[in-house]
Structure 1
Amino acid sequence: MKIAVIADIHGNAPALEAVLADIDSQGIREIVNLGDHLSGPIDPARTADLLMARDIVSIRGNHDRALLTLEPEAMISIDRFARQALDEGHLSWLRALPPTRHMDEHGLFLCHGTPQDDLVYWLEDLTPEGIVHRSDAARIERLAAGVEAPVLLCAHTHIPRLVTLSDGRLVLNPGSVGCPAYEDDEPVVHKVETGTPRASYAVIDRRADGSTEVAFRLIAYDHASAARLATENGHPDWARVLSTGWV
């Protein structure tokens, strides 16, 4: 059985449409979605409509939480833009999403950052100087303790990565559908850059013999139109990110 894993769409409806079309072309019917769906200066409402129409299994990310808990004046600009674009139906959908989810029937656990915190990087870590690097094995194992599932899914860093734990469990980040690079100042100033404008997601193949295969897919789409929308919506910085995969 194949399951598509998407995450970090960030309101990029053109990228989401391309990814959904690619998923459909493979005959994959099961999709799970790991959060940060709508915050971004492209088309949050259209993104929400696409997700709601497909009834995709979804959880809440840190930006989704901010949309629901902060007053607009306290939000960062991409959250505020999304909040202004969404209607009550979109917000009701967000409110119903859990922060984590067990899918025992598929052997999956879903979270956004780590099982404990939607703001913490799981498979990546930072040096004091803000250099992003793969986290060490002991830390990854520690954060996975007590989570009983063969495949643990995370997102948040936008970097596609697969790690095999010492007990054989897999920890998978599918990368970002809609935002291939960003800059953050917590816990220190740093950049995350994939170096490509393509939309990223992953496919899990749970086979009858009990084995699991994982494939990452990087999908070309009309990123120029997404970049134009970002510029028109007051975020030319996002235009470079969407066009190049670099900040």
Structure 2
Amino acid sequence: MPRWALLADVHGNRLALAAVLDDLTRRNVDRVINLGDSVYSVLQPRWCAEQLAQIASISISGNQDRILFEEVQTAQQNLSYRFVQADLGPNERAWLANQPATAIVDDMFCCHGTPSSDTTYLLEHVTPHGVQLQPEAMILAAIQGVSQSLIVCGHSHIARTVQLANGQLIVNPGSVGIPAYNDDLPYPHVMQAGCPHARYAIVERNAHGWQVEQYAIGYAWQDAALTAQHNGRENLARWLATGRAQLDD
């Protein structure tokens, strides 16, 4: 059976993606799946799009890929949005524009957030008091109608492997490019890996079911942080350098 590498939430981080691709050369991987949010940041979006277009057998669209092709009022165009729009070329735009929201391959269902929403966490439940593992009943409701034995997702930037009572397995490989961030919806919260490493996963089916390997790869994250700082994103620089975030970032 093929060994699939799962990459998600690269967010234009060239140094992190290059380190992951280098690590993949030693892992006997057959194919690569890219789970979306490939370019959105003030780092190196065009380079990352070029690389992912070459190496990924399957790429799906994330919410921050999709937004690049929607009508966005000038007042709502933040620094990252403007940076990516200026950096991407026509080939990279065409690659992003043609990505599906979901894909099915090898008894595996691929989505960015949930099967029906690229802005909703599948495995995390955000409350006024923080972020918790999603109750199984809510996960089952979100994947209703999905029959594949493995579901792979991104969006939360948190590496998780969750086994359901019905036998289905869900894997989030974590974020290649941004290990932490804060958000206001549905309540103010932070997502943080706790370390600045680039994350990805490998899945392979054997006689006992799906085997999952989660990796945290060291790379020159201080250099990535300096790029973010130079391009006007002090908060992103802190997230990249530490893997931690605060509500007021």
Cα offset, 1:61, TM superposition: 0.3
Contact 1:161 1:175 in 2 (8 A): yes
Q: TM-score, normalised by structure 1?
A: 0.95
Instruction: Write the distance in 1 (CA, Å) between the matches of 2:72 and 2:90.
Output: 15
Cα offset, 1:72, TM superposition: 6.9
Q: Residue 84 of structure 2 aligns with which residue?
A: 82
Larger displacement relative to structure 2 (66-75 or 81-90): 66-75
Instruction: Write the distance in 2 (CA, Å) between the matches of 1:184 and 1:77.
Output: 16
Cα offset, 1:27, TM superposition: 1.7
Instruction: Write the distance in 1 (CA, Å) between the matches of 2:119 and 2:144.
Output: 18
Report the identity percentage: 37
Contact 2:46 2:87 in 1 (8 A): yes
Name the aligned partner's letter for residue 18 of structure 1: A
Do residues 9 (structure 1) and 30 (structure 2) align?
A: no
Q: 1:55 to 1:201 in 2, by over 3 A?
A: closer
Q: How many correspondences in the alignment?
A: 243
- Unaligned residue ranges in structure 2 (runs of 5+): none
Contact 1:66 1:75 in 2 (8 A): no
Instruction: Write the distance in 2 (CA, Å) between the matches of 1:108 and 1:121.
Output: 18
Cα offset, 1:225, TM superposition: 1.2
Cα offset, 1:165, TM superposition: 1.3
Contact 2:12 2:42 in 1 (8 A): yes
Q: Residue 193 of structure 2 aligns with which residue?
A: 194
Name the aligned partner's letter for residue 198 of structure 1: H
Q: Residue 22 of structure 1 aligns with which residue?
A: 23
Cα offset, 1:118, TM superposition: 0.5
Instruction: Write the distance in 1 (CA, Å) between the matches of 2:12 and 2:57.
Output: 16
Q: CA RMSD in A?
A: 1.3
Q: Residue 233 of structure 1 aligns with which residue?
A: 231
Do residues 45 (structure 1) and 43 (structure 2) align?
A: no
Deviations 1:144-181 (A, max 9, x none): 11101110011100001111111111011110000000
Instruction: Write the distance in 2 (CA, Å) between the matches of 1:128 and 1:231.
Output: 30
Instruction: Write the distance in 1 (CA, Å) between the matches of 2:167 and 2:217.
Output: 29
Q: 1:171 to 1:117 in 2, by over 3 A?
A: same
- Give the secondary-structure state (helix, strand or coil) at the position aligned to 1:182: strand
Q: Residue 156 of structure 2 aligns with which residue?
A: 157
- Give the secondary-structure state (helix, strand or coil) at the position aligned to 1:25: coil
> Matches of residues 1-247 of structure 1 in structure 2 within 5 Å?
1-71=2-72, 73=74, 74-103=76-105, 106-129=106-129, 131-207=130-206, 209=207, 211-247=209-245
Instruction: Write the distance in 2 (CA, Å) between the matches of 1:13 and 1:220.
Output: 13
Instruction: Write the distance in 1 (CA, Å) between the matches of 2:138 and 2:72.
Output: 35
Q: 1:72 to 1:177 in 2, by over 3 A?
A: farther
Contact 2:4 2:33 in 1 (8 A): yes
- Unaligned residue ranges in structure 1 (runs of 5+): none
